[in-house]
Structure 1
């Protein structure tokens, strides 16, 4: 993966990924085709701190908001010490919530910090709780972006690292929640680009597999569809 900055214009949309055959259409998608949505959603595998021209990026934070490992640490280091100073004024964030800060030395305008669920911990409390909390992370991040007049947002893969959320189950929840958001008349057209920026290959594979279910190709040729069973998201049990 390149270490140089990646301009927003060079981040591929779902529409382009279909043309490049990086995404394989499915014969029984879970949503109706919409070219406008496919021009809005983007996938890329890179360091999220290298995305240039994106209004805000989403940090997979912990409850303290004071930095940590993984992407959280990378974002804090790239943003500089002023980010930590601002986060100290926020009194933390609940799991499933989202707050916004300035981006400081990063090549974006703002950072949305969201706290994802620790998969096994929340699952022991309630089997459905991890998904509910993860969906809240994506929904609240999108809402916070719109509330702050952002027009583009890039997500890191929330909870799929040390928090242990299975990559396919996480991608399914994120894509489904995002689809619901872009279909909501209240938010229609307010975000021009929604980017899923994965760093780990396992997360990229999950998004490439599941995106066609929620953002299908319009006027797709059935002869190029993938096997229906193989295209369905795996159950997390």
Structure 2
């Protein structure tokens, strides 16, 4: 399938312009969410008369669900301003993680054999609170985010924290491309309300449950990491990048093999390419994932 290059969509989604979220003083969170819900409910004849809950948590839950399932199309500026303000207020209440405060793998595992361990960071936590130049999103081949409300995938988490503008940018790219995204390829957007500046979206291979891992699937996963590195290396502003454990969630790629591919591929790429990366973060969410990466770094 024909795949767009960076230059084909760079100006279409204003990648050169740093996004500055709108900020209102939220004196009444309930009222703001009521306004946002009203706008979304009025878009759909089937749910426009839906009764808005009275409980704040239920309201916020409903707002996320409606945005998760919503097809990409422009929203009023009033909505975007209030949504930005809500997400920024929520972000302020979270503990933002600054990568310069995290130890390098060379300190965590002094005897590691990886030549770029001084640039590597192994960190367990929520990627949406990581303050870095770019984060990597494990997307599907539609590249529009997860449409299943509240689904526990990283695609859903990133889109929900970034705001609806992220899906809009993805839609512009995909409608211009006119075809699904190939496995192993990547695209880049701004990160909007995330503490990072950019999001790299890549499509990893799917390994159906009970099937044997193939050479092609290994190569496709390695290609995800290479595509993201090459794309990020074209952006002067990206010197730090955080990778999630691509394809190891609902896509079913075995965690042990995935960790080996991730670390070896990135280390080899950094060794053989001129680049401006200062830090590469391996972001994991579970203890199991953390231990798999740790084993890789401990191998001599």
Q: Name the TM tier (shorter chain).
A: 0.7 to 0.9
Query: Distance in 2 between the 1:187 and 1:59 partners?
Result: 24
Task: Please say if 1:88 is aligned against 2:171.
Answer: yes
Task: Please say if 1:165 is aligned against 2:250.
Answer: no
1:187 Cα deviation (Å)? 2.2
Query: Which sections of structure 2, spanning at least 5 residues, go unmatched?
Result: 1-93, 175-179
Aligned to 1:199: 285
Deviations 1:125-174 (A, max 9, x none): x8211101000000110111101121110001101011111111000011
Aligned to 1:139: 226
C-alpha contact (below 8 Å) 2:185/2:203 kept by paired residues: yes
TM-score (norm 1): 0.77
Aligned to 2:137: 59
- Shift in alpha-carbon separation, 1:187–1:120, aligned structure 2, 3 A: farther
Query: Distance in 2 between the 1:11 and 1:174 partners?
Result: 20
Which entry has the higher C-alpha Rg, 1 or 2? 2
TM-score (norm 2): 0.62
Matched residue count: 196
Segments ≥4 residues shifted beyond 4 Å: none
Partner SS, residue 95 of structure 1: coil
Task: Please say if 1:152 is aligned against 2:240.
Answer: yes
Point out which structure has higher relative CO (alpha carbons under 8 A, 6+ apart): 1
Query: Which sections of structure 1, spanning at least 5 residues, go unmatched?
Result: 20-24, 217-237
Aligned to 1:79: 162
C-alpha contact (below 8 Å) 1:101/1:112 kept by paired residues: yes
Query: Distance in 1 between the 2:139 and 2:102 partners?
Result: 24
Aligned to 1:48: 127
Task: Please say if 1:13 is aligned against 2:92.
Answer: no
Query: Distance in 1 between the 2:103 and 2:155 partners?
Result: 24
